[in-house]
């Protein structure tokens, strides 16, 4: 009898695990759908402007996920995320860890009630992919993104997702002049409905010598610029479209698009207009594609 139960359990475990994975994908798709609706409601209330994607940390503009306090990293903001007197976070101090302390007053004040989408996204849980397991100290996210030499890092520790820098023309990350930012309307024809606005980056590459996808709240979709898609879901990655639709996209197809595989037959060019799902920056002939030779601006 015990042997039979063991055999049945062995048969059921893969089925249960697959069901759990499908549930996590569904939750993740719903999370990004809610964030996408927030982006559209923000645009409706702000003259059709695309929400600032938190490109860089120097400026103090309110973005989709945080308002930077200035500096070369987000460390100042992260250190302000303290717990109420007498409470201790995972480091054994008053330092909060957002996915573990979502309702902490300072986490709410500075992040989830302080970002540009806060009037439209009321549940802080939608910023987190359930498959990331960020509430566990053993998770890749906790070890690679949250921690730095045993203390809180200067990374974006507020969400599993990042926004596409194409939405503001990939400006210099140190700019503090609003006129240097490409401020576009959501109805801009370059922002096709099926183009990618947000996705899940890979939190396992931070300590591998590859660029850090969580150094701010957005990225170029280049594999060498921290934009590599996450593999926490089997075979694919969840992304948000410009029309607020969501998709579970095959990993190989997604990395092909990030590597510059075009939706049009002419290929990458600095003289012929090019774009694909990830490179559609309006100010560039090649959509802002990071080809190693510098992207070509149209003006």
Residue 157 lies in a domain: yes
Q: What percent of the chain has pLDDT over 90?
A: 54
Which of 199, 204, 211 has its CA nearest to residue 237?
A: 199
The pLDDT assigned to 46 comes to 96
Which of 34, 53, 11 has its CA nearest to residue 197?
A: 53
CB atoms within 10 A of CB 123: 10
User: What is the full DSSP assignment across 14-54?
Assistant: HHHHHHHHHHHHHHHHHHHHHHHHHHHHHHHHTTTBPPP--
Q: For 181-194, write each residue's pLDDT tens digit.
A: 888 999 999 999 99
The pLDDT assigned to 17 comes to 61
Residue 231 lies in a domain: yes
**Minimum mean pLDDT among 18-22, 167-171, 187-191: which range?**
18-22
The pLDDT assigned to 238 comes to 95
Q: For 24-68, write each residue's pLDDT tens digit.
A: 999 999 999 999 999 999 999 999 999 999 998 888 889 999 998
Which of 158, 185, 157 has its CA nearest to residue 42?
A: 185
Q: How many domains does the chain have?
A: 1
What's the chain's average pLDDT? Answer: 86
Residue 88 lies in a domain: yes
CB atoms within 10 A of CB 139: 17
For residues 239 and 254, is the Cβ–Cβ distance under 8 A? Answer: yes
Question: For residue 106, what are the domain limits?
Answer: 20-258
Residue 236 lies in a domain: yes
Residue 208 lies in a domain: yes
The CA distance from 179 to 162, in Å, is 23
> Which of helix, strand or coil describes residue 279?
coil
Residue 143 lies in a domain: yes
The pLDDT assigned to 192 comes to 93
> Which of helix, strand or coil describes residue 269?
coil
**Is residue 299's pLDDT more than 90?**
no
* C-alpha distance across the termini of the chain, in Å: 76
**Is residue 212's pLDDT more than 70?**
yes
Q: For 87-116, write each residue's pLDDT tens digit.
A: 999 999 999 999 999 999 999 999 999 999
Residue 83 lies in a domain: yes
Q: How many CA atoms lie within 13 A of 254 on its CB side?
A: 24
Residue that the structure tokens 């979709």 belong to: 221
CB atoms within 10 A of CB 299: 5
The CA distance from 230 to 23, in Å, is 17
**Is residue 274's pLDDT more than 50?**
yes
**Minimum mean pLDDT among 149-163, 172-186, 197-211: which range?**
197-211
Residue that the structure tokens 């170029």 belong to: 220
**Is residue 263's pLDDT more than 70?**
no
CA distances from 12 to 26, 122, 227 (A): 21, 37, 36
pLDDT band at 262 (very low <50, low <70, confident <90, very high): low
Token pair for 74: 């987000």
The pLDDT assigned to 136 comes to 94
pLDDT band at 72 (very low <50, low <70, confident <90, very high): confident
The CA distance from 134 to 129, in Å, is 8
Which of 135, 129, 164 has its CA nearest to residue 52?
A: 164
The CA distance from 177 to 11, in Å, is 60
Which of 175, 171, 172 has its CA nearest to residue 184?
A: 171
pTM across the whole model: 0.88
Residue 133 lies in a domain: yes
The CA distance from 132 to 215, in Å, is 18
């Amino acid at each position: 009898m015990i042997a039979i139960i063991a055999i049945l359990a062995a048969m059921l475990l893969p089925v249960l695990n697959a069901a759990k994975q499908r549930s996590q994908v569904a939750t993740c798709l719903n999370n990004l759908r809610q964030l996408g609706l927030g982006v559209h409601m923000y645009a409706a209330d702000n003259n059709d402007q695309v929400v600032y994607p938190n490109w860089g940390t120097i400026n103090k503009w309110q973005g989709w996920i945080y308002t930077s306090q200035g500096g070369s990293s987000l460390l100042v903001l992260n250190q302000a995320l303290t717990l109420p007197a007498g409470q201790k976070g995972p480091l054994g101090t008053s330092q909060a860890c957002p996915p573990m302390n979502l309702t902490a007053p300072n986490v709410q004040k500075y992040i989830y009630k302080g970002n540009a989408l806060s009037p439209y996204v009321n549940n802080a849980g939608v910023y987190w992919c359930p498959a990331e397991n960020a509430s566990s100290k053993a998770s890749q996210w906790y070890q690679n993104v949250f921690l730095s030499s045993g203390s809180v890092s200067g990374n974006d520790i507020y969400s599993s997702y990042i926004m596409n820098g194409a939405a503001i023309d990939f400006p210099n990350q140190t700019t503090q002049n609003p006129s240097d930012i490409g401020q576009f309307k959501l109805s801009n024809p370059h922002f096709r409905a099926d183009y990618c606005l947000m996705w899940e980056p890979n939190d396992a590459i931070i300590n591998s010598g590859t660029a850090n996808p969580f150094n701010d709240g957005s990225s170029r979709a280049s594999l060498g610029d921290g934009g590599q898609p996450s593999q926490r879901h089997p075979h694919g990655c969840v992304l948000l479209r410009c029309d607020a639709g969501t998709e579970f996209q095959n990993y190989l197809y997604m990395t092909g698009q990030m590597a510059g595989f075009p939706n049009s037959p002419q290929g990458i060019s600095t003289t012929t207009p090019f774009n694909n799902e990830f490179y559609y920056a309006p100010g560039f002939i090649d959509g802002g594609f990071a080809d190693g030779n510098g992207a070509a601006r149209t003006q």
